[in-house]
Chain A
């Protein structure tokens, strides 16, 4: 079973502050993703990565940066946090060929972020 670990699990930040959300996966998946989950919107893709050193913009990248320093780690950075970024953030990993279950995404448990 794929293991995706997010930290912190809960975070309270002040408006204008910098926030870094971290994600680690131990299954050597090439692809990693950051989603945010809001009531009424489901999961929306912020940034993703195809491997170490690569980051791509998802559907709602404004106000967020991403960093993939290694195969295992993928961070989401809010340089100037705003209250509209209050949400639950999920990291996921996956590959196009994962034990026959093509393109299964494995999600972490989420980080609940409140920006005051």
Chain B
């Protein structure tokens, strides 16, 4: 069963807009939520991550909003650029799981100039 779900599957925005990517999870024991960015032909790379003790994490133009009660989070990409076009994976892990990340199916973001 899919423990981490992402929506939408694909998202198209205009350059300069804010892209919002959504993620939800099933397991209340998950406490670490990284987002990975993947360009075609490459492996995923860590973009930004949040722990369940926080409700917001910012890094440059990327912000994670986390709602522990609702078991969901979102990635906001402010002032989207064509170079942000990629697939974004939400992942989750329990504290003791030593890297056993559970990944969502991904959101493909297209930023139109």
Q: Is the CB of B42 within 8 A of A109?
A: yes
| Residues B30-85 near A (CB distance < 8 A) | 32, 34, 36, 41-46, 49
Residue in chain A with minimal CB distance to B104? A42
Residues of chain B within 8 A (CB-CB) of A4 are: 43
Q: Is the CB of A92 within 8 A of B43?
A: yes
Residues of chain B within 8 A (CB-CB) of A96 are: 98-99
Complex Cα–Cα for A113 and B6 (A): 26
The interface on chain B, measured as residues whose beta carbon lies within 8 A of the other chain's beta carbons, has a size of: 22
Residues of chain B within 8 A (CB-CB) of A103 are: 32, 93, 98-99
Residue in chain A with minimal CB distance to B46? A104
Q: A4-B43, A42-B106, A92-B43 are in contact. Are A105 and B101 (CB under 8 A)?
A: yes
CB distance from B21 to the nearest CB of A (A): 13
Q: Is the CB of A101 within 8 A of B100?
A: no
- The reply to whether the CB of B103 lies closer than 8 angstroms to some CB of chain A is yes
Residues of chain B within 8 A (CB-CB) of A34 are: none
- The reply to whether the CB of B89 lies closer than 8 angstroms to some CB of chain A is yes
- The reply to whether the CB of A31 lies closer than 8 angstroms to some CB of chain B is yes
The 7 closest A-B CB pairs, nearest first, are A107-B43, A42-B103, A43-B103, A42-B105, A104-B46, A31-B99, A107-B44
Complex Cα–Cα for A77 and B14 (A): 44
